[in-house]
Structure 1
Amino acid sequence: MSRLQSADRSDVAQIPESAISFPAFEVIPGTLDAGLLIICDHASNAVPPAYDALGLPPAELERHIAYDIGVAGVTRRLAATLGCPAVLSCFSRLLIDPNRGEDDPTLVMRLSDGAVVPGNRHADAAEVERRLARFHRPYHTAIEAEIDRALAAGVTPAILSVHSFTPVWRGLARPWHAALLWDADPRLTHPLLEALRAPGDLIVGDNEPYDGALRNDCLYRHGTARGLAHTLIEIRQDLIGDEAGQHLWADRLAGVLPAILADPLLHERRSFGSRTGPVPPIYP
């Protein structure tokens, strides 16, 4: 009997802590010269062996429900080209979603795009807390550490979060090649949007197909609440499904970001508020 089958009959919180040895994050080292930190919340579709693939067949873990297809390759290439640090998650969003606040009801999904997730069926408050402690919080602590390292060196970094979206959703083709999602701080979003649209060969969405104002999500926590310039780029998955596409998009971004990041206004700590409501005071 697998651990998951046993957990389905009782409680996944009974999985021994010693059985879960799995990295929560990866940090790609970089210099502070670029004034940029790249984060990749949904880089991996990996599930710790103790969770027995959450009861899902391999094909489901290859779908967008498990991770953002193509983003790890884009992030690695972009970080290497710019020489800037990056933080990537090492676990599937189905285990726990690092781009959601701890109070978000979609933190641990029991149903995702038609797929029932057996390993999350009995994920009670104790098990959610276990996953927060072992995966979600260490990932965010790693991001905080990179930000703190930059601030201690006198550099106020901008943050770029790399995501991807499906080319078709509920039978409708999505026309955007990419999109920028943001809340209230326009400093990085507006110039990057202009730069990506300038050649005329791309349809770039502005807060579509998703809206970037999500309280307590990753960029709210590390960007909005800390007064750091930030934006989230979504790239259509069919464009970055292979290495060639990933390199193309990383190189495209690397071609425009240095000029944008040269603006000193991007490296000031400022509060722009949030469309979701009052924002806590900026903390160190």
Structure 2
Amino acid sequence: MLLRSGILAPADGEAVAVENERAAGTVVLVCEHASHRLPISAGQLGLSEEVLVSHIAWDPGALELARLLSTRLEAALVHQRFSRLLYDCNRPPESPAAMPESSEIFEIPGNRDLAPAERYARTAAIYVPFHDRVSALLAAYVQEGRRPVVVTVHSFTPIYFGKKRDVEIGILHDTDSRLADATLSAAISGPYRVERNAPYGPEDGVTHTLRLHALPAGHANVMIEVRNDLIANSVDQEVMADYLAGLIATAVSVVEGK
């Protein structure tokens, strides 16, 4: 079917992008679902254009929000340049969700019955370079004497399987809840409905990046989920970035004992 040999052509560019790499702060932002773009070799994975720009293919508004946070927090930003439908960089290679055959109500024909060689090719082309860059950036911070703080940035749809989601901001964590606890404490009197491990939690397999890069090294970490109707335009993105930057900066200070 698709992608039997090379995944990325020269015209596609790199699988991963790093912005503000020499930022002065300690926060490293990661945006695994930044783009709905597909490489030339993938075609459209058997999907319509309407589906390919929907939330199943990416996290709408997440990259714009992450870029604003990068500026406000003086933070480096690593983001994936292709759709999570090709490979979801927040899932390990052995997970069925890494190259999903379906997402919510949609079947993904281009991901059906993938041969092991094709799964390996996608992993090598997309997942490995992405996480290698995150690892290298964190290692550079440590070598410079900085204690990196890992913050992943996501958005979620207001309606999922026909059910409305009332939570507006999710503060997610795995076994290390230090930064999440401090962030939730800072959000108590805020204007948004902020909840712990919502609308997903670690039991849903969404904390892979944190497990891979932060937990083994003891780096403070948190995953932030924002309902995408709250960051649907540039004005709302600026408002949300101001709010979240304040929460994160306060939480980091608490964790670092400042």
TM-score (ref. length: structure 2): 0.92
Q: Which position in structure 1 is the counterpart of 2:249?
A: 258
Q: Which position in structure 2 is the counterpart of 1:62?
A: 53
Q: Does 1:208 align with 2:194?
A: no
- Relative to structure 2, which stretch is displaced further, 106-115 or 84-93? 106-115
Letter in 1 for 2:194: V
Measured in 2, the distance between the counterparts of 1:233 and 1:132 equals 25
Q: Which position in structure 2 is the counterpart of 1:193?
A: 184
Measured in 1, the distance between the counterparts of 2:178 and 2:82 equals 31
Structure 1 residues 15 and 37: alpha-carbon distance in aligned structure 2, compared to 1, 3 A threshold: closer
Matches within 5 A, 1:147-186: 147-186=138-177
Measured in 2, the distance between the counterparts of 1:216 and 1:77 equals 23
Letter in 1 for 2:215: T
Q: Which position in structure 1 is the counterpart of 2:123?
A: 132
Preserved CA contact (<8 Å) 1:30 1:83: no
Deviation at 1:223, TM superposition (A): 1.1
Q: Which position in structure 1 is the counterpart of 2:110?
A: 119
Q: Which position in structure 1 is the counterpart of 2:133?
A: 142
Supply the RMSD in Å over aligned alpha carbons: 2.1
Structure 1 residues 95 and 197: alpha-carbon distance in aligned structure 2, compared to 1, 3 A threshold: same
Measured in 2, the distance between the counterparts of 1:87 and 1:14 equals 27
Preserved CA contact (<8 Å) 1:25 1:139: yes
Letter in 1 for 2:92: G
Deviation at 1:231, TM superposition (A): 0.6
Structure 1 residues 266 and 223: alpha-carbon distance in aligned structure 2, compared to 1, 3 A threshold: farther
Structure 1 residues 221 and 65: alpha-carbon distance in aligned structure 2, compared to 1, 3 A threshold: same
Q: Which position in structure 2 is the counterpart of 1:40?
A: 31
Number of paired residues? Answer: 257
Extract unaligned runs of 5+ from structure 2.
none
TM-score (ref. length: structure 1): 0.84
Preserved CA contact (<8 Å) 2:64 2:237: yes
Deviation at 1:31, TM superposition (A): 4.2
Measured in 1, the distance between the counterparts of 2:10 and 2:110 equals 16
Measured in 2, the distance between the counterparts of 1:249 and 1:215 equals 22
Measured in 2, the distance between the counterparts of 1:33 and 1:153 equals 11
- Relative to structure 2, which stretch is displaced further, 207-216 or 47-56? 207-216
Measured in 1, the distance between the counterparts of 2:87 and 2:221 equals 23
Aligned partner of 1:225 among 187, 199, 216: 216
- Superposition misfits of 4+ residues, deviation over 6 angstroms: none
Letter in 2 for 1:212: P
Q: Which position in structure 1 is the counterpart of 2:100?
A: 109
Deviation at 1:45, TM superposition (A): 0.5
Preserved CA contact (<8 Å) 2:90 2:206: no
Q: Does 1:92 align with 2:83?
A: yes
Measured in 2, the distance between the counterparts of 1:36 and 1:266 equals 15
Deviation at 1:30, TM superposition (A): 4.1
Preserved CA contact (<8 Å) 1:158 1:266: no
Extract unaligned runs of 5+ from structure 1.
1-6, 268-284
Alignment identity in percent? 30
Measured in 2, the distance between the counterparts of 1:266 and 1:114 equals 46
Q: Which position in structure 2 is the counterpart of 1:235?
A: 226
